[in-house]
Amino acid sequence: MDKIFIIIEFALMILLFIIAKYSVKRPSNRWRLLYAAPVFVAIIVAICEGFDVYHAGIYFASALPLWSLFLEEKKVHAKQLIATCSALIIAANLVVICVAPNYHKVSYLKDFEQGFETMREHYVLTKEKEIDWDRLYAKYHPMFEAVEEKQDYVENYKAWQRFTTEFFDGHVGYEMDGEKKLLDAICRSYGNDYGLSLARMTSGEFVAINVEGYERSYSIEGAKEDELGLYSVKKKFLSQNASADRLTLKNAGITNGTVITKWNGKAIDAYFDEVDYYFDQYPVRENEAFYQPIYVAGIGSDMTYGETYVPGKDGKASPSVSISFLDENGMERTVQAPCLGSYAPRMLDTFGKLGDGLNVTNLNWQEVSTDTYAIRISEMSYDQETYGGTDYQELTEKLREEVLALKDIGVKTLIFDLRSNCGGSPYFVEAIAKLFAPKGEHASYYSAVINEKTASYERGADGKYQKGVVSTYEGEDLWHDGQIILLVNASTVSAGDDMVYMMGAYPNVQVAGFTRSNSSCQAVIGIMLDAGRLAFSAVPNLLPSGEVAIDTFVDHVGRTPFDELVPFDQEAVKVIFDQGEDYLLSYVMASK
Amino acid sequence: MKNIMKSIWYEIYHRKTLVILFGAFAALMAITGFSGTADATYGFEQGGVSDMLAAHPWVPYEFPLLFLTIFVGYVCCEDYKDKVANYEILFGHSRKSIYFARSLMAIIVGTILSMLLGFLPLLVGNALAGWGDCLVYEDILLRYLLLGLPYLRLAAFLVMIAFLVKSPYLMIGIGIILSMMIGGLADMVRHSSSVFVSLFNMIALTEYEGWSSYNLDPTIGTIRYYAYDSTIPAGLVSGTIIASLFMTAFYLFMGYALFRRDELN
């Protein structure tokens, strides 16, 4: 817009220069309008784009031709001189814009201060999570000062990820504005791709997963489109020799499931302290432990966590990593794995392979076997009309009809696929849960009493929020004789956690997954900042005891029900990463 | 100049079109006050008019802007049709007195009438629902009185435009665009807070810093709560006064620059 503005103003000055002479030959009152045109353009730009002090010269230059209105028609040279001066001032302003270090400076520090102060005042889990605001300010203020000084949006992304990780709360997150910048920042924040991800098996061993070169694995040359859009930028990060190097691990004998003993000569868990931010939030300690190795796989030799080599930047040489592994004979070998590109696309692909649920749309059923049906619940929303309210009767009736029909055809087991459920309305959850709850009245949560004058939630003398209205529902026990299995993962969050919490308590319901659900269920508020959006838990949901529901305390212990930790073993790795199948579903089917 | 101003005032006062127009806008503003208060989150009794004004900050200027544009267009452009300004020159009035008589009448009367319109929703809402406790009454009174200054500046700007376009119909079009910028394109406009642009200045005077949260109710669903700080920053007061006086003088000067050599046809 700046360029267009300057070009238009400059062109108008040239026009006014020409018109000065031409208007004498063909006199008309309408030429006068042209002298006001530059200032109108400036006013419109100021209204639409905002007043910018760095455009002061252009504003002045655009107003200068108005002086010509005072001159007599025949003073051609004076009018031409004014147009020339205006053009020169515009050109000078352009130079100032080009060299001014603060032009279009993004106020990253102001964003942090605004976000921090708002959270300090309104974050509802300060006590439960023992948040030391002064410590956080002392730690992060200098970090954001540095970001502001360098005007580095990648460091801004990393700083916010670090800051939000401190809250170990699935409802605390920062989203940067600008899709291109965000994708670029993600690609530069999780290290480099050395051709594999890492995972910790239930046995404690670390194994290679999603290894480059295998049919079902992520490929740097693949055209698979991810939801976030990293596929559109990943080529920019590919190393010069990526194509030639991509099969290094495969050629060395590393497969999905190969035990990795050392990473750059160090044990993999020795890196865990270094990993100080994640792509997602893992409030439960055991969930965090499950995902930590995946992040380690981006750390290069002599590089810190998050440091990312970008071809053609900083003049650095392409990094590599030495990977020690057990070969098929159980002998430890080491291979030098070259950098293939940015690790973020492979990392997110790994998350997807581990966590994606059934490939059907929300609230649709899929036959798993003659006596088992699965319903996909990827979000807790039915339609736009119902989302803000509490009336989900239509959903309840629809589901009741479907469930009774399944009962009639002899289905014994229902699987609720809640993997990566991103949440939504708690009343949607009640509308479903009531069908399966034991007969009688059930209470889900109490709201907290809000101070209407300050629109804030305040704690009483006992340190607890004051209980407000309780939300109740009447159980129908439609599936009394059957079994219900809830499939969850660390990304089953918010209202997803609600459903696990509520239904997990019913006698015929079993909760299973490689990890627990996320354990974050206080309602969220988002605030707009100059360069992004910050969301955090701001509305408490309370248990009858007055304690906040579900969220983890400082002990990082998950409080949603969890019955069966599905072992992440060699078989799971093979089924997921070699066969591309849904291991979790197969596992619960086999063990039901 | 005094005589020209008197004649313009006589025309304003006796021209049915203008009286009906003002009446129509006054009715519109009264309805806005009524419906806005009825629509406020808690209904008539609890939220009061301050809740409505906080939730709909554009109420005092959205429609008055349109009225002001039409009014200025009428006062400044209508005489081009019947050549009154030409006759005034023939009768020995200076261009300066012709210009300033029209522009000052348009600016002063237009500003006063627009301010009256701006106060109407507040008065109607207050009569119906009481003040409420969302905003401090004295703060809002000061803010609304200060709103006269950007009106003054905007009127001066519109005078300049009127002498450029010389058509009351085009002025209506401009008024509609201005109103749309406040209503439909509000988000686009709001990211700047420079007091030197009258629309931003109006927005700054009628929007309130605050915090909004919500609660979940098993019957209603989401209930929103707002806490506003209506205190007016000293910088905004001084900025509004300085910018308005400076820009009014600037626009008047520029308008005269246009008018003094105009062929008046």
User: Is B164 in Cβ contact with A469 (below 8 Å)?
Assistant: no
A201-224, pLDDT tens digit by residue?
999 999 999 999 999 999 998 888
User: Is B196 in Cβ contact with A455 (below 8 Å)?
Assistant: no
User: Is A43 in Cβ contact with B221 (below 8 Å)?
Assistant: no
User: Is A456 in Cβ contact with B215 (below 8 Å)?
Assistant: no
Picking from A36, A46, A70, the nearest residue to B197 by CB comes out as A46
pLDDT per residue, tens digit, chain A (592 aa), is: 678 889 999 999 999 999 888 887 777 766 777 888 898 888 878 767 777 788 889 999 998 888 887 777 778 899 999 999 999 999 999 888 888 777 778 899 999 999 999 999 999 999 999 999 999 999 999 999 999 999 999 999 999 999 999 999 999 999 999 889 999 999 999 999 999 999 999 999 999 999 999 999 999 988 888 888 888 888 889 998 999 999 999 999 999 999 999 999 999 999 999 999 999 999 999 999 999 999 999 999 999 999 999 988 767 788 999 999 999 999 999 999 999 999 999 999 999 999 988 989 999 999 999 999 999 999 999 887 787 788 899 999 999 999 999 999 999 999 999 999 999 999 999 999 999 999 999 998 899 999 988 999 999 999 999 999 999 999 999 999 999 999 999 999 999 999 999 999 999 999 999 999 999 999 999 999 989 999 999 999 999 888 999 999 999 999 999 999 999 999 999 999 999 999 999 999 998 7
Q: What stretch of H or E contains B158? A: helix B148-165
pTM comes to 0.82
User: Is A47 in Cβ contact with B181 (below 8 Å)?
Assistant: yes
CA-CA-CA-CA torsion sign (A537, A117, B47, B143) = negative
User: Is B164 in Cβ contact with A33 (below 8 Å)?
Assistant: yes
pLDDT at B193: 61
Q: Does A18 touch chain B (CB under 8 A)?
A: no
Q: Taking CA A459 as the corner, what is the angle to CA A453 and CA A461, rounded to the nearest 5 degrees?
A: 120
The shortest C-alpha distance from A304 to chain B (Å) reads 39
Q: Does A457 touch chain B (CB under 8 A)?
A: yes
Picking from A390, A453, A541, the nearest residue to B218 by CB comes out as A390
User: Is B189 in Cβ contact with A389 (below 8 Å)?
Assistant: no
- Across chain B, the runs of DSSP E, i.e. the strands, are 209-217, 221-229
The shortest C-alpha distance from B54 to chain A (Å) reads 14
Picking from B181, B217, B262, the nearest residue to A29 by CB comes out as B262
- Cα distances (angstroms) measured from residue A183 to each of A189, A227, A422, B250: 10, 12, 21, 47
Domain boundaries, chain A: 2-99, 108-178, 190-353, 355-591
User: Is A47 in Cβ contact with B199 (below 8 Å)?
Assistant: yes
B214 neighbourhood in chain A, CB within 8 Å: 523, 525, 539
pLDDT at A33: 74
User: Is B188 in Cβ contact with A470 (below 8 Å)?
Assistant: no
Map residue A375 onto helix, strand or coil: strand
Q: Does A447 touch chain B (CB under 8 A)?
A: yes
User: Is A70 in Cβ contact with B261 (below 8 Å)?
Assistant: yes
A451 strand-pairing partners: A456
CA-CA-CA-CA torsion sign (B144, B149, B152, B154) = negative
Name the percent of chain B lying above pLDDT 90. 28
Picking from B210, B213, B265, the nearest residue to A29 by CB comes out as B265
A174 strand-pairing partners: A534
- The CATH homologous superfamily to which domain A355-591 belongs is 2-enoyl-CoA Hydratase; Chain A, domain 1 (3.90.226.10)
Q: Does B229 touch chain A (CB under 8 A)?
A: no
Q: What is the DSSP letter of A259?
A: B
**Is 2.30.42.10 the CATH number for A190-353?**
yes
- Cα distances (angstroms) measured from residue B70 to each of A146, A382, B90, B99, B113: 52, 48, 28, 18, 12
B57-87, pLDDT tens digit by residue?
888 888 899 999 999 998 888 777 777 777 7
Q: Please determine whether the domains at A190-353 and A355-591 fall in the same fold group of CATH.
A: no
ipTM: 0.80
B139-195, pLDDT tens digit by residue?
999 999 999 999 999 999 999 888 888 788 888 888 888 777 665 545 554 555 667
- Alpha carbon A282 to its chain centroid, in Å, reads 13
Q: Does B90 touch chain A (CB under 8 A)?
A: no
User: Is A455 in Cβ contact with B225 (below 8 Å)?
Assistant: yes
Q: How many interchain CB pairs under 8 A, A with B? A: 101
